[in-house]
Amino acid sequence: MRAKLERDFDRFKRELPRDFPAHVCQAYRIDLTARYLGERVPHPIGKGSGQLSLNAGQLEDDAAAGLAFAVLKTVIAEDETGARTMAAWAIHETKMTVERRPAGGGRAGWTVTWKGRGWDRTFTDYLTLVRTGRDLTRAGRLLVVPSVKYHLPRLAEPFRDGEYRYTTAQLADAWREPPLLVEKDFSPTLAGDALADDRPQILRWLREVPARIHAASPIPVRVAVKLMNARFDDLFQVEMMDACAGADTLVVFNRLFDAERGVAYGGWDLSDRNLRVLGTQVAPGIPELTGTGNIHSGRMILDYARCGCHSVQLHTFFQLPLSEYPATHGSRPQRALHALVFHPQDGLIAGMLELEARGELERHGGELRFLDLRAHAHRAG
């Protein structure tokens, strides 16, 4: 197995087979099947919402590379008059800096520093991109999911249902066939905003928002809530997960907020915190989980999976300088998949074989299954 993995790693540096999950199944008897928002996907690696899912060209590259899913950039909700309560999040900013971010223990991860926020073009343009995503999804080439930032009121205020209704209905109309899948973003800049100073206010959003999106949609809808890293302690992260039981999926957890610099960041501090919280959360019957944050190796995917995640979504790892990937050819999504899956020390296959050797993962019907990793989720409580 080891020798085969070394060989595959070397030969796939030039070109990754599009249907690599079938190859992994046949060559290693490893079933990479995963889940995202209630859908079966051929493997666990998807693209998180952001600057890398802004146009049809990026989606086409993701489909060609064989990503499991891609979440579109977050659009700011509007009502039928075009009014947007969260308009402060529709900032235009193009400059991004990919840089090292030191963390404890002498570790230096990567982060993308960027001052922008949500989708900065028209909602009509966004709906055009949603239709492109729908066609890729229908063709079985790439599962594409829109992301929205809906109105979030202060505690004493009502929700602007008009924004929920109009935005969701337009997305449903563009998507056409049920179910509509949608992510609701609670972003790091929101976590850094005065709106998010108040715990009961945040918990009310999480309790009410999934039901409001369900009620607003003219067709059946599944809702993933992307939880923020709030500026409170780990226990509050768990409280947020519990409050959000009405969601179909939780994306855990969006980037940290550096109040001094006024920017969101990732790297090891982010994965340390996310895995720490996921390792202690205890509530039975919480929604399906999708991990995000500093995922740059197959081993890190396994860490999230062993904390209960059914799949993962990455951003920063798709943005590194080309010299950081061991592959010599291909698009960034292809090079990233090559390293994440086939790296002979840190890849997904190597990690799963190692867990088998340690007696921590068993074969069923001769196969190791990615989704079985969750059975080993450690629940400290």
Beta pairing class for 34-36 and 39-41:
antiparallel
Q: Which of 9, 69, 304, 317 binds ligand FMN (CB under 6 A)?
A: 317
219 Cβ contact list (under 8 Å, min separation 6): 172, 175, 178, 179, 180
371, two tokens: 């989704």
Contact by Cβ (8 Å): 200, 155? yes
Could you identify the residue written with the tokens 């790091």? 188
Which part of the chain contacts ligand FMN (CB under 6 A), choosing from 2-10, 59-67, 291-299, 331-339?
Answer: 291-299
Please say whether the beta carbons of 159 and 153 come within 8 A: yes
Segment lying near ligand FMN (by CB under 6 A), choices 6-14, 122-130, 309-317, 358-366? 309-317
Regarding 292 and contact with ligand FMN (CB under 6 A), the answer is yes
3-class DSSP assignment, residue 64: helix
Q: Closest distance between ligand FMN and the C-beta of residue 94, in Å?
A: 11
Shortest CB 227 distance to ligand FMN, Å: 10
The verdict on 334 binding ligand FMN (CB under 6 A) reads no
Q: Which of 38, 88, 103, 114 binds ligand FMN (CB under 6 A)?
A: 114
Residue with Cβ nearer ligand FMN (99 or 197)? 99
The contact pattern for ligand FMN, residues 192-231, with x = CB under 6 A and - = no contact, is ----------------------------------x-----
Confirm or reject binding of residue 112 to ligand FMN (CB under 6 A). Answer: yes
Q: Is 310 in the site for ligand FMN (CB under 6 A)?
A: no
| DSSP string for residues in 149-213 | E-----TTSPP-HHHHHHHHHHHHHHH-SSPEEEEEE--HHHHTSGGGG-HHHHHHHHHHHHHHH
Number of H helices, E strands in the chain: 12, 16
Strand 368-369 to 180-185 pairing: unpaired
Residue 255 found at the interface with ligand FMN (CB under 6 A): yes
CA–CA separation, 18 and 31 (whole Å): 16
Site residues for ligand FMN, window 138-157 (CB under 6 A)?
Answer: 147
Selected binder of ligand FMN within 21, 42, 44, 266 (CB under 6 A): 266
Note the residue count of the chain: 381
One of 316, 353, 355, 370 touching ligand FMN (CB under 6 A): 316
Q: Can residue 294 be called a binding residue for ligand FMN (CB under 6 A)?
A: yes
- Contacts (CB under 6 A) with ligand FMN, residues 343-362: none
Q: How many residues of this chain bind ligand FMN (CB under 6 A)?
A: 26
Q: Please identify which residue in 314, 327, 353, 368 interacts with ligand FMN, judged by CB under 6 A.
A: 314
- Residue 223's SS3 state is strand
What distances in angstroms separate CA 313 from CA 59, 304, 305, one per listed residue?
15, 11, 12
- Among residue numbers 35 through 94, which ones bind ligand FMN (CB under 6 A)? 48-51, 73-74
| Chain residues that interact with ligand FMN, rule: CB under 6 A | 48-51, 73-74, 96, 112, 114, 118, 147, 185, 187, 226, 254-255, 266, 270, 292-295, 314-317
